[in-house]
Amino acid sequence: MGAEPVETRGEQRADLIAADGNKDGKTDLWVSDTDGDGKPDLFQFDTDGDGKVDVTMVDRDQDNNPEQVVDGDGGLPPAPPVTR
């Protein structure tokens, strides 16, 4: 299963949320803004806990209905985890 490239709203990327939904100590949800308007338009999920993106959704017009859903990272791997 190859990653199908997804088109986002812009070239930049700012991760708005990186969350550990199942509390296993690893990030499994990434919500990103790709056009700098402060609103999310790229959503990525690790559904099996292996640390890799399994599903990518893009909401280009930001109407809360994704225009594209693909298996894998869609050519947009998540940003590396932030260490504090």
Given this model, what pLDDT does residue 74 score?
A: 92
**pLDDT digit string (tens) for 22-70?**
888 889 999 999 999 999 999 999 999 888 899 999 999 999 999 999 9
Spatial distance between the Cα atoms of 43 and 60, rounded to a whole number of angstroms: 11
- Distance, CA of 9 to CA of 20 (rounded, Å): 25
Does the structure show a pLDDT above 50 at 1?
Answer: no
Q: Is 51 exposed, middle or buried (0-12, 13-18, 19+ CB in 10 A)?
A: exposed
Q: How confident is residue 12, by pLDDT bands cut at 50, 70 and 90?
A: confident
* pLDDT classification of 2: cutoffs 50, 70, 90: low
Cα(74)–Cα(43) distance, integer angstroms: 11
The confidence score (pLDDT) of residue 77 equals: 84
